[in-house]
């Protein structure tokens, strides 16, 4: 069983998608160990506790800088013996120590078809606004391994149609429902079953050509 820890900062809709998939047996070989929130008021903590999932807080506001905060996050991950880290609406850049310790073991989802509109700040509406401004007919989401560039090797992608008259809000909702909430649990499941292999910045999927 792969010990998996989820980092959150906000409402926790992506966390809920992970917990639901885990509950229904869609993430085999995964031990959903804990949730760590950077915000003590995050609703994601309530979601975790309602699911009887261990929940911890590493409060960003209590630390003088990103380095000390990231050191505390890394220490908590080590204390929990995390083998896989999933970002579910986590808004803080990860430090070099965390990225090195968990290279190709940190999975995030971005609300765009990377590398297009590759701003993966989960608090920003920019990916949706940019897609609408560009007049693209397809947007979507990408699950990927996090690197220092805040994007990284692509694991899975799912296209979502951009409708005439879409606003950033309506497109955001549809990308979450049709892509993000499916891709993140699926990417975790593939990792936990040993179906991902990364070479030269490219993720190879077991059984795929």
Q: Which tens digit of pLDDT belongs to each residue from 41-51?
A: 999 999 999 99
Nearest to 35 by CA among 18, 56, 49: 56
Domain extent listing, the chain: 2-205
The number of angstroms, rounded, from the C-alpha of 197 to the middle of its chain's C-alpha atoms is 18
Give the whole-angstrom CA distance, residue 191 versus residue 183. Answer: 12
CATH class for the domain made up of 2-205: alpha beta
pLDDT digits (tens, 9 = 90+) for 60-97: 999 999 999 999 999 999 999 999 999 999 999 999 99
Buried b (16+ CB within 10 A) or exposed e, 32-70: bbbbbbbbeebbbbebbeebebebebbebeebeeeeebb
pTM of the prediction? Answer: 0.94
- Secondary-structure percent of the chain, ordered helix, strand, coil, rounded to 5: 35, 25, 40
């Amino acid at each position: 069983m792969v010990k998996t820890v989820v980092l959150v900062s906000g409402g926790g809709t992506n966390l809920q998608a992970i917990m639901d998939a885990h509950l229904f047996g869609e993430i085999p070989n995964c031990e959903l160990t804990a949730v760590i929130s950077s915000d003590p008021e995050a609703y994601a903590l309530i979601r975790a506790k309602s699911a009887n999932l261990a929940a911890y807080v590493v409060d960003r506001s209590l630390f003088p800088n990103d380095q000390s905060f990231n050191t505390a996050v890394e220490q908590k991950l080590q204390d929990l013996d995390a083998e896989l880290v999933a970002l579910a609406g986590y808004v803080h850049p990860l430090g070099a120590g965390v990225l090195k310790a968990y290279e190709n073991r940190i999975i995030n989802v971005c609300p765009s078809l990377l590398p297009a509109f590759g701003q993966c700040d989960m608090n920003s509406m920019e990916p949706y606004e940019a897609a609408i401004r560009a007049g693209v007919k397809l947007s979507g989401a990408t699950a990927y391994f996090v690197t220092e560039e805040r994007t990284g090797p692509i694991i899975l992608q799912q296209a979502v149609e951009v409708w005439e008259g879409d606003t950033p809000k309506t497109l955001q909702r549809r990308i979450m429902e049709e892509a993000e909430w499916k891709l993140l649990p699926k990417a975790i499941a593939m990792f936990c079953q040993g179906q991902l292999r990364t070479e030269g910045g490219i993720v190879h999927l077991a059984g795929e050509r």
